[in-house]
Structure 1
Amino acid sequence: MQRRTFLASIGTAAAAATIGLPPEPAQATAHAPGACTYTWKNAVINGGGFVPGILFNETEPNLIYARTDIGGCYRWQEDSRTWKPLLDWVGRDKWGYSGVVSMATDPVETHRVYAAVGTYTIDWDPNNGAVLYSDDKGDTWGVAELPFKQGGNMPGRGMGERLVVNPADNTELYLGTPNGNGLWRSRDHGRTWAHVEEFPNPGNFVVDPSNPLLADNQGVLWIDFDQVGGRVYVGVADPDDPLYVSEDSGSTWQAVPGAAEALGSADGNRTIPGQSAVDDLNGYLYIVTSHDPGPYNGAPASGDGGRIQRLATGTGEWTDVTPAYNPRGVIPGFGGITVDRQNPGTLMAATRNNWYPDEILYRSTDSGATWQLSWDYAEGQDRHDRFDMDNAGSPWLSWNGENQGPQYAVKHGWMIDALAIDPHNSDRIMWGTGATIWGTEELTRWDAQGELIGQDEAGRRVALPVEKFTVAVRAEGVEECAILDLAALGGTLVSAVGDVGGFVHTNLDRAEPMIDTDWSTGTSVDFAQSDPNIIVGTGNVHGNEKGHVGVSTDRGKTWRNASRVEGVPGDGHGGAVAISANGSRIFWTPGSSEVTPVYSTDLGATWIPVRGLPAGAKIRSDRVDPSVLYAFSGGTFYRSSDGGATFADTGATGLPTAGVDDFRAVPRHKKHVWLAGRGDEKTGVTGGMWRSKDGGATWKQITAFDTAESVGFGKASKKSSYPTIYSSAQVRGKAAIYRSTDGGNRWVRINDDDHQWAWSGSAITGDPWIYGRVYLTTNGRGIIYGDIAR
């Protein structure tokens, strides 16, 4: 194989390697009449989750990648200033590949890009991790499976890149791994991998051995190259031995002298090296440390949690260049660090989880000798900033709040591990947060501002005049929300969304403010079929003073929180909500195993316990008769004929006893109910799809499906009087999105292998006004909707 280096000329790209997926199985009715192709888009939210990594290619301008913890990775499109998703081909069988723990962009042959994938190192993800390799900038991928798991959504996912290309020999890549698996290497452009037996230390740092999610040995954290000195540096999660170097292309490795003292402790706290950045011209390696791997934790109780250390790679001299000042008093630790390659000696770093009032970006133009802050306090704790935050691209980033003194509604962010100055343009920087990507193309205006704070004649701290620049949303196209429920009213789409509450979309191409309720996570939404102006939703809340259910009577324009229900604790417990066909009664099943469902006849002002249902029973309304409600729990189907005051077992048999996540009543068809069951492998309960035409007394199984996760309804075709039915289901082992236009007799797959979105369709609905349109939930790729290709 031809060896290429950073200084070599770039040759013609090899043929792109496309991932091999299993052949498409026969459908319930293969090539059924009415089969057609679909186009797929996102309902625009822009962001909504953690972006732990942003990479600029060092050789090709405007070639930028971003990775997310559960929503795949993206490539920047300079012409439209949007991001293109690159992993939508990932299917349910390998859903963990949507968690991207690291990426590498080849500085020599820039068409090559790599992604280390795998969502959990615990058994939540049944598969091992992999390294994905692409020869066409991520348009197609090959897969190199690994014999261990990786943690794209585990603690430490914002560490420096664990996957790197050797710029001196771009056939060679290194991969740092968790849980004692050590350092790995590929010498064939990522196609095959082997353990680096010579590397001596797999790490030993564990956050909390008593908690399975936090019990990972963080392992080998990052790899970086000193291109002038020909050295390879590796950061390790071991406070006593945190840094290694090889000066002979990885044949031998030595612990770097003084590293334990520089990187392994801060004010008595044991710390680990989180990220690195190299200044090749001046011969410096910068390393930031934190007392834990993040991305959530704050400062330890015993003082500062991190440092910025500078290693002179030629002499081995260590210098502590930690900023001396934080308005908050202590620095909880550092996340991202970046060097300006156009202006050596200029670097920036971000605090990690400096929760109040905001994160701080530090900037130095003298190799860390002195620093300036992105904001500071003057006398009286007034806050003064170098830039304004423009959240027009994602209006929900205000979180429906207002500025409260120094704590702004629109923040610099939190969990800032992704921080990158464009190596081709000193004015451009991007950083990722727990919710979005921020960026500006005016960064060097910072240096003309001088200090933010000075002193008056009395020695009081006063603000100095600063001409601000603007930082704005740069997440357009990054859709990484986890969607929990959807309701399509016709012209309006309502969503319940993890971490950001939910949205009311009246224009699918426009990001909207979030629903103005107290939800931390929206869990369920519904609307009155005969009066769609009335919408209800529920979500998790913090504390015991807030109600979980939200109500709107003006089609989602305004919302109010319903009253709390006694006995339902705060801090979660959103559960599921339903509303009768005419909007006269709201039903709520709290997300608590000890509280039975309740209903309200006054839009949530007061609540009454439902009789006849066990705790946890999910309720749905008949979409025609307001006096009829349905419920399901543990294999038993219930019906109410008195407006939901009392429920009784219908006596139905043959339904699954576990693994039922969804059942829905059919619009304009009284007593028609469909039930989707994914089954439960642990208990041996089989799944599938069932339908009833008599209000749940008797059921017929739809034998086309092995399992089904969801069912929903949309506008009927011109040839049918029955609503179009949609389902996320499995047929002969293939999980996909299926549609029926004839009442469920024949089904056709409507998505393809390029559009699978990992785990999609746990809730699904058609559009009541637009034939063929379907809306899907995803776990990290936002709201997907499809239309028949015209």
Structure 2
Amino acid sequence: MQRRTFTTLSAAAFVAGALPAPAFAQQAADTYVWKNAVVNGGGFVPGIVFNETEPNLIYARTDIGGCYRWQEATRTWKPLLDWVGRDKWGWSGVVSMATDPVDPNRVYAAVGTYTTDWDPDNGAVLYSDNRGETWGVAELPFKQGGNMPGRGMGERLAVHPAKNYELYLGTPSGNGLWRSHDFGRTWAKVGNFPNPGNFVVDPSNPYSADNQGVLWIEFDQIGGNIYVGVADPADPLYVSRDGGATWQPVPGAAAALGSVDGHRTIPKQAAVDNTNGYLYVITSHDPGPYNGGPSSGRGGKIQRLSTLTGAWTDVTPPYNPGRPIPGFGGVTVDRQNPGTLMASTCNNWGPDEVLFRSTDSGATWSLSWDYSDDAGRVDRFDMDNTGTPWLSWNRQDDGDTYAVKHGWMIEALAIDPHDSDRIMWGTGATIWGTDDLTQWDAQGELVRRDASGQRSALPIQKFTVGVRAEGVEETAVLDLAALGGTLVSAFGDIGGFVHTDLGRAEPMIRSDWSTGTSVDFAHWNPNVIVGTGNPHDNGVGHVGVSTDGGRTWRAASPLAGVPGGGHAGVVAIAANASVILWSPSDTSVTPVRSTDLGANWSPVQGLPAGALIRADRVDSPIAYAFSGGRFYRSTNGGATFTDTGASGLPAGAVDFRVVPGRWGDVWLAGRGDEKQGIGGGMWHSQNGGATWTRISAIGTALSVGFGRAAVGSGYPAVYTSAEIGGKAAIYRSTDAGSSWQRINDDAHQWAFAGSAITGDPQIYGRVYLTTNGRGLIYGDIA
């Protein structure tokens, strides 16, 4: 997931047109209860961390959506960073976590989303003495990359098990190794650590050009040594034998870890067997999480270091079904059964990832699935996505390629240190797990090879792997529409959903979108819903249409000049469903319209490419558009648009929405751009955009939406994610913008939230809002 954000700049109030600006007043407060519309997962989980002292104390981290703590009683996850506000939105990207083995109440999170200028702020280490219920902040003088390449390596943050007041932090960008001596409250660079790393994925791409740096820290509790992995193929591993006072390169590490078949490799993760005295290190030619290995050869290996003798042993599995090993993603050891360890491929892609398991310290390996000549693919376990139907991606099994996969981008892989039967692993979409892991060993081999090389499947009793992501809501949501009893949404990476029950995960919209970008419905015929998205695999089904309330969908006709993949843009539909308007995001393509539900398209006249389009919610021939500070109106179903001549509107990015049931009633949220000196704010028009009133109370505004009116009010409730009095929050007005109430609180801010927002047309006070990593949030008056 990559994203940029809007920054804040409040402009002086002014009036565009002749309507009087309302004075600001604070409405009486309502207390809100906040929940997620259930999806279960939906994004990348790069780390799962078990506490080694206390059973059932487990943490999961995400790349842009904060971190979570496992709740064993309900087998769900609790979000821990919802208090992060828009001013520090980058702290919702979690680079690493550490849970204290001496005092299990203590937990730490290294945060920061980008090391590029996409994130204006430096990173931090968050520390908690109560398992993440509340946090302190130790700000750092550099950035961290929770959503950068390499975010599944590590863990970069570690608690010294013999002196738990001491923590280590590996950093990117050449910042080296850092240490705290006071439970994470203050940090200083380890000045004598000799190598800050030098591995860069792609120096020509700003997103991939950062030095991967210091990758992980592991403690050898037999010898008392500290091992540190570094992104430097020529010098990848260091050890301190005197408690961190001095550091030396580990002999033989470069030969063991630095290359595979001529490709440079780096040590992605490590795990210590403190009974047998082994350090296991997995490598890959790429830090992940996206790329697999080179097609010409293996992209990674597993090396075992004897911490007592210094001897290296290559314990790489000798076989991967159907192709070379692309590189490894995760490694874990079984604390209850010394000598048992597991590893995962990273982006084996087709047909699936592979989990490897060894019970003899890597001397031999068994696989989670394999090929046979008589039965095709043979699996050790069944994947059960009950409760999360969208994990089939609207597909059916196709030979050896299953609709429900082990996953991809598997870098979080952890056997419970207290229970050899429990394992969890994170993917690019969910968390999988089982409580029957040791049945693997009882199954024996999957296939038998005879003297002629024929491979025959052996009978085994399968166990079940199920979803373990309940409560983890880590998606980026781009748009939503509340129809009353039905909520339609567009999601980054997983298309979108039609929720008729907010407490239940639904199937994905059957549109083949990888990312949904926009949704709308016909106000007088809400069974007709339209949406746009970026199709998988360079497909061309950008616009989807449903005529039965979202139960079934069909792809509209493709548009010449709009390439496959991206450029989905924004879609709108007339109140009576007579016209669909589509504005692709490709700036070389002007908006188009269809009068036959997407079967045919014709160009719209009078609009620039990329214009933002909405339909009037009362009068079907009326439509509106905005581009570059100009507001346009159509009176013939979008065939032609004319500039209304309104002045004083913001020149930057906006969101504008049309009030249901009121002709020509439009609100416009100006998002502002501090770098370009563009101010934001809120404007209201009651005459179809001819004249506008500036809402003087509101500074920068991300979005605006409408819901059922309060009792005694003749105007719908207005909701916005905006700044009032310098505070970015979620606000509601029940009197057409004359007064506003903040309805969220400091414990519920969800970082960068509310780029789209709407109320519910049937339930007063209910509001739905998008987030960039914490899923689809809704709130009700308590």
TM class, shorter-length: over 0.9
Say whether the 8 Å CA contact 1:268–1:302 is kept in structure 2.
no
- What does residue 50 of structure 2 align with? 56
Matches within 5 A, 1:631-650: 631-650=625-644
Among 715, 718, 723, the residue aligned to 1:722: 715
Q: Contact conserved, 2:26 with 2:740, CA < 8 A, in 1?
A: no
Q: Give the counterpart of 2:112 among 101, 118, 123.
A: 118
Q: Which one of the candidate residues 220, 235, 238 is aligned to 1:241?
A: 235
- Which residue in the other structure is 1:769 paired with? 762
Q: Indicate whether 1:611 and 2:605 are aligned.
A: yes
State which of 663, 675, 679 in structure 2 corresponds to 1:682. Answer: 675
| CA–CA separation in structure 2 for the residues paired with 1:495 and 1:683 | 31
The answer to which of 542-551 and 338-347 deviates more is 542-551
Counterpart residue number, 1:290: 284
2:371 to 377, 389, 399: 377
Question: Alpha-carbon deviation of 1:298?
Answer: 1.1
Paired letter, 1:677: G
Match of 2:182 in 1: 188
- Tell me, what secondary structure is at the counterpart of 1:97? helix
Q: What is the match of residue 655 of structure 1? A: 649
- Is 1:269–1:302's contact at 8 Å kept on the other side of the alignment? no
The corresponding residue for 1:79 is 73
Instruction: Work out the CA distance in 2 between the residues paired with 1:524 and 1:562.
Output: 15
> CA offset at residue 30 of structure 1?
5.9
**Partner residue of 1:707 out of 700, 715, 727:** 700
The one-character-per-residue Cα deviations of 1:380-424 (angstroms, maximum 9, x if unpaired) are 671000000001131100000011111100000000000000000
CA deviation after TM superposition for structure 1 residue 732, in Å: 2.0
Q: CA deviation at 1:246?
A: 0.3
Distance 1:380 1:564, change over 3 A: farther
Alignment pair present for 1:782 and 2:775: yes
Q: Report the Cα distance in structure 2 between the residues aligned to 1:177 and 1:458, rounded to whole angstroms.
A: 52
Letter in 1 for 2:546: S
SS at match of 1:747: strand
Going from structure 1 to structure 2, the CA distance change for 1:397 and 1:636 (only over 3 Å counts) comes to: same
Partner of 1:38: 32
Q: Which residue, out of 505, 509, 513, partners 2:503? A: 509
Q: How does 1:90-129 map to 2 (within 5 A)?
A: 90-129=84-123
Where 1:448 maps in the other structure, the secondary structure is: helix
- Partner of residue 153 from structure 1, selected from 140, 147, 150: 147
Contact 1:28 1:748 in 2 (8 A): no
How many equivalent residue pairs?
Answer: 761
Amino acid at match of 1:759: F
CA offsets, 1:308-333, max 9 Å, x none? 00000000000000000111230010
SS at match of 1:588: strand
Tell me the amino acid that sits aligned with residue 663 of structure 1: F
Give 2:531's match in structure 1, choosing from 533, 537, 541: 537
For the 8 Å contact 2:374–2:457, the answer to whether it is kept is no
For residues 270-669 of structure 1, the aligned pairs below 5 Å read 270-379=264-373, 382-455=376-449, 459-542=453-536, 545-660=539-654, 662-669=655-662
Preserved CA contact (<8 Å) 1:66 1:73: yes
Residue matched to 2:202: 208
- How far has the Cα of 1:301 moved from its partner? 4.0
Give the structure 2 partner of residue 162 of structure 1. 156
Quick check: 1:28–1:747 contact (8 Å CA) kept in 2? no
| 1:23 matched residue in structure 2 | none
8 Å Cα contact 1:81-1:476 kept in structure 2: yes
Give the C-alpha shift of residue 675 in structure 1. Answer: 0.2
Partner SS state of residue 571, structure 1: coil
Give distance in 2, aligned partners of 1:451 and 1:667: 63
User: 2:27 corresponds to which letter in structure 1?
Assistant: A
Given candidates 237, 248, 252, the residue that maps to 1:258 is 252
For the pair 1:672 / 2:665, whether they are aligned, the reply is yes
- Structure 1 residue identity aligned to 2:686: K
Shift of 1:272: 0.5
1:737-748 to structure 2, matched below 5 A, reads 737-748=730-741
Matched position secondary structure for 1:706: strand
Letter paired with 2:154: G
Q: Would you say the 8 A contact 2:768–2:777 is kept in 1?
A: yes
The alignment partner of 1:213 has SS state of coil
Aligned partner of residue 95 in structure 1, secondary structure: helix
Greater RCO, CA 8 A, separation 6+: 2
C-alpha distance after superposition, 1:409-462 (max 9, x if no partner): 000000000000000000000000000000000000000000000135754101
User: Residue 769 of structure 1 aligns to a residue in which SS?
Assistant: coil
CA positional deviation for 1:174: 0.1
Letter in 2 for 1:299: G
- Scaled by the length of structure 2, what TM-score is found? 0.96
Q: Single out whichever of 294-303 and 706-715 deviates more from structure 2.
A: 294-303
For residues 25 and 683 of structure 2, what CA distance do their matches in structure 1 show?
21
Q: Structure 1 residue 779: deviation in Å?
A: 0.2
Question: Aligned equivalents of 1:543 and 1:464: distance in 2?
Answer: 36
The equivalent of 2:726 in structure 1 is 733
> Is the CA contact (8 Å cut-off) linking 1:28 and 1:731 kept in structure 2?
no
User: Does the 8 Å contact 1:518/1:546 carry over to 2?
Assistant: no
3-state DSSP class of the match of 2:474? Answer: coil
Amino acid at match of 2:696: T
Unmatched 5+ residue regions in structure 1?
1-26
Residue 547 of structure 1: CA displacement? 2.1
Q: What TM-score, normalized to structure 1?
A: 0.95
Q: Which amino acid aligns with 2:323?
A: G
**C-alpha distance 31-692 of structure 1, shift in aligned 2 (>3 A):** closer
Give the secondary structure class of the aligned counterpart of 2:114: coil
What does the per-residue CA deviation read over 1:552-579, in whole Å, with 9 as the maximum and x for residues that have no partner? 0000000000000011111211100000
Q: Which moved more, 1:372-381 or 1:692-701?
A: 372-381
Counterpart CA distance in 2 for 1:75 and 1:165 is 18
- Following superposition, the deviation at residue 542 of structure 1 comes to 3.9
Equivalent residues of 1:279, 1:344 under 8 A apart: yes
- What is the percent sequence identity of the aligned residues? 75
Question: Secondary structure of 2:193's partner?
Answer: coil
CA–CA distance in 2 between the matches of 1:455 and 1:156? Answer: 38
AA in 2 matched with 1:639: R
- Which residue is 2:10 aligned to? none
| Conserved 8 A contact 1:542-1:572 | no
User: Conserved in 2, the CA contact under 8 Å of 1:223 and 1:233?
Assistant: yes
Q: Report the Cα distance in structure 2 between the residues aligned to 1:344 and 1:320, rounded to whole angstroms.
A: 18
- Superposition deviation, residue 546 in structure 1: 2.2
The CA distance in 2 between the partners of 1:698 and 1:375, in whole Å, is: 66
